[in-house]
Amino acid sequence: MRNKSYAAINIAGLSIGIAACLLIGIYILHELSFDKFHANAGRLARVTMHYNFGDADNKLAITGTKVGPAFQRTFPEVQAYARTFKFTRVVSYEDKAFEEKSFLYADSAFFGIFSFPLLSGKASDALNSPDKIVITNRMAKKYFGSADPIGKVLRVGGNKDFIITGVAAEPPANSQIQFDFVASFASLGAYQRENW
């Protein structure tokens, strides 16, 4: 009570220090939780590329389309793989058209490997042939309102039609894979050919 200003400075400093520690702790917990929600999190591996070009040592979180199939043929431990390819695409339905930045192409095993729950549709059939697409619940509301989107057709890129085979829950914030649309990898045509 006698040293009010000194006490106020100490209490304020202590409060700021505790708040900073709590915020740092929450941030670290969030960072350490990435991709831990997958049922098979301990069995998932992300393949990356490491190469030298002149004196430059480069590491990239991308690979060629041949890696998954080649690993599965070569190593019996590889039970499944899912290649993904992210694009920005113009998606339209009737008079609605939007540029979508989280448009993902993925192999048919995608929803079997990763624990992204489907609210409707079957994970085994959702991407098993060309021109199939799964959309998130948020995109279903954006394009179709309260109507059931299963079986409806979205036009992608102005010239390709995809039939909606599933509606997925939005990926959690602590997922490295973020998407609004997941189209079958088989729809990529020449891009899906196996290349290193």
Mean per-residue pLDDT of the chain: 89
Three-point CA angle 139, 189, 104, nearest 5°: 25
**For residues 165 and 167, what is the distance between their CA atoms, to the nearest angstrom?**
7
Query: Is residue 117 within 8 Å of residue 168, measured between CB atoms?
Result: yes
Query: What tokens does 86 get?
Result: 């992210």
pLDDT of residue 36: 86
Using 70 as the pLDDT threshold, list the residues of the chain that sit under it.
Answer: 190-192
Query: What tokens does 136 get?
Result: 């998130």
Convert the pLDDT of each residue in 33-78 to its tens digit: 888 888 888 889 888 888 888 888 888 888 888 888 898 999 999 9
**How many CB atoms are located within 10 Å of the residue 84 CB?**
15
Q: Which sequence spans correspond to the domains of the chain?
A: 1-32, 80-191
Please spell the DSSP secondary structure of 12-39, one letter per residue.
HHHHHHHHHHHHHHHHHHHHHTTTTTST
pLDDT of residue 188: 83
